[in-house]
Structures are given as C-alpha cells and as structure tokens.
Amino acid sequence: MLSKGACICYGTPSLNVYTPPGLTAALPQTSRPKHTFKFRGVAPCAAPGNIRSTRALRIAASAEAPAQTWKASIDFKNIRENVDAIEENAKARASKVDVQRVAELYDEYLTVKAETDQLRAARNENAAKMKGKMEQDARQALIDEGKVLKEKISVLEEKLSVVETDMQREGQKIPNASHPDVPIGGEENATLRKMVGEQRDFGFEFKDHVALGESLKMIDFERASEVSGNKFLYLRNAGALLELALVNWAMTKVVSRGFSPMITPDLVRSSVVEKCGFQPRMANTQVGEPCREPAARRESTHSIEW
C-alpha cells in the first residue's frame, strides 16, 4: 500500500506521478516537478486493489480561495425589484444565498458610484480651469483643490471596487429562475411528461443495471466509494471496455461530421470555473485547490462542459 505523500505534476497537468515525501528534494534541479499537489490520505495514483480502508480523497489547499476575477452579466436592478420572488426561487432550488444582501450591495454600489462620478466631474472641471492664464495664487488654489479631489477619488474608487466585488460574489450565488411548471421537491413530486414505447415483459423477474453490472464484475461501487465518495463507481473488465468502445464510436461519429477531437487538461483556472457557472454548494466539493499560482482548480466533475 502506498504511503501518504504528494502527487507530482511534471509539466503536463493531466500527468500525475507519485513521489514519496522527501524524495523531491533529492531530485536534480532539472528533474524537479513544476507543480506539487498536496493530499491528505493515500496518493491518488495508488491502485484500487491496494486500498483497503480510506476516506474519500480530499485535496488540501494551502492558500485561501482566490478573489473574484470575473464579472458576470447580472441584472442587479431586477434583483432589487424582485427580492421576494428571487428568494422563493432560490429556496426551491436549495441555494444558500442572501438575496436581500445582494440588493443592499447594489444600492450601496449605486451610491458610491454616483459620489465617485461627481468627484470625477469636479476634477475635470478643475483641470479645465487651469488651462487659462491666471494669478499664481489662483493657480495654486486650483492645484491644492485638485490634490484633495484626487485623494477623495482614490478612496472612493477603492471602496467602489470592494463593494462591486462583494456584489458580484454574492450575486453569482443566485440560481437561474426555474420554469413555473417545474414541480418543487424530490422525485416523488416529479411529473411524467411523455411515455415513449412500452415496458417489455420478460416473463421473469429481471435485474436492474446495478445488479447486472455487479454480478458480471463490470462495476465496483464499494472501492470507488472509499476513494471518491458515495455514488461513484469503477468500471471494470467488460464495463471498462464497453465505455471505451462507446467513446470511440461517438468520437468517430462526430469526427465524420467535421468536429475536431480534443483531450483537455485536468486543471481549470478559477475564473473559467466561475464563467461556467459552477458554484459548489457545500464544503465537500469535487473541485480541489492545488498549491500553485496562478489560481487553478483540479476539475473532477462533468459539470464543466463546452
């Protein structure tokens, strides 16, 4: 069984090579890895068969979450004018967001922006007055006034930036509006929209895909849950071959239609994750934080698609 350590990335984000603790320092300077990902628990490269009892793998971030780097196109005016309806929609979608706080931040943003714009106009007016001829005392008075305006604008611009960042961060937590016909609740409240065909009568009690997969040794839930958490599975034997065959079949189809196949890195910049609208709702998230700059996240979910 592999010991606790670090997973090393040699230049290519998708290539993970396990290195035991202390070995990195012994490597030649030219052979040392560019990026190091620190893990709690067994190294991710450990073979599933060597793992007996582990908790779900968690990437330990060495730094705090990066600051908001992307400004979403959000209708904050609509949020302020429809706080109750948006709060009700967020509650129905189990999203933890303070809509009233977003509305208050928008009001504060408008107030600070108006004050900033007013001072900028005064600064421009001050600069225009200095273009003409005047007494030295009058010019010095305008210079002093310009310095005061510059300092006030600097303070307000910094405040405006903080308020806007907070407004964006909180506003991006608000989920999209659900269609009014969507039932609220669990599967027990689901509505059958359309039935295509009829269920086959096999004449005997048949197994579902889970029972079939486990009996044929095509899937393994137990070991996958130890490594990745509940609801994850390993595809094994014919299951793995079937997955590869389906991927190859699909890729052949789309390439024949003119599409270009592409295999992307496992690392995604935080700003890209934000732009995709991926907002983890819990601390137990599938997105890890590697210990390096610029801020990037290890993408381990299929929620990010192009």
Give me the CATH number covering residue 84. Answer: 1.10.287.40
**Which positions ≥6 away from 247 have C-beta within 8 Å?**
none
User: Residue 203: is its pLDDT beyond 60?
Assistant: yes
Q: What is the pLDDT of residue 268?
A: 82
Beta bridge pairs of residue 59? 39
Asked, for residue 124, whether it belongs to a domain, the answer is: yes
Asked, for residue 24, whether it belongs to a domain, the answer is: no
CB 298 within 8 A of CB 272: no
pTM, entire model: 0.56
| AA letter at 236 | R
**Which positions ≥6 away from 58 have C-beta within 8 Å?**
39, 40, 41, 288
Mean pLDDT of 145-174: 94
Beta bridge pairs of residue 16? 9
CB 197 within 8 A of CB 115: no
Q: How far apart are CA 276 and CA 70, in angstroms?
A: 11
Please list, residue by residue across 179-197, b when 16 or more beta carbons sit within 10 angstroms of its beta carbon and e when fewer do.
Answer: eeeeeeeeeeeeeeeeeee
Q: Is 115 exposed, middle or buried (0-12, 13-18, 19+ CB in 10 A)?
A: middle
Mean pLDDT of 102-106: 97
Residue with tokens 């908790």: 55
Number of domains in the chain: 1
Q: How far apart are CA 126 and CA 119, in angstroms?
A: 10
Q: What is the pLDDT of residue 199?
A: 85
Asked, for residue 80, whether it belongs to a domain, the answer is: yes
Asked, for residue 95, whether it belongs to a domain, the answer is: yes
Tokens encoding 269: 């910049």
* Residue 271: pLDDT band with limits 50, 70, 90: confident
Q: How far apart are CA 8 and CA 19, in angstroms?
A: 6
Asked, for residue 278, whether it belongs to a domain, the answer is: no
Mean pLDDT of the chain: 76
Mean pLDDT of 132-141: 90
CB 154 within 8 A of CB 161: no
Nearest-10 crossing angle of helices 99-129, 136-171 = 160
Percent of the chain scored above 90 by pLDDT? 46
Asked, for residue 126, whether it belongs to a domain, the answer is: yes
Domain carrying residue 113? 76-171
**Which positions ≥6 away from 183 have C-beta within 8 Å?**
189, 190, 191
Asked, for residue 105, whether it belongs to a domain, the answer is: yes
Asked, for residue 287, whether it belongs to a domain, the answer is: no
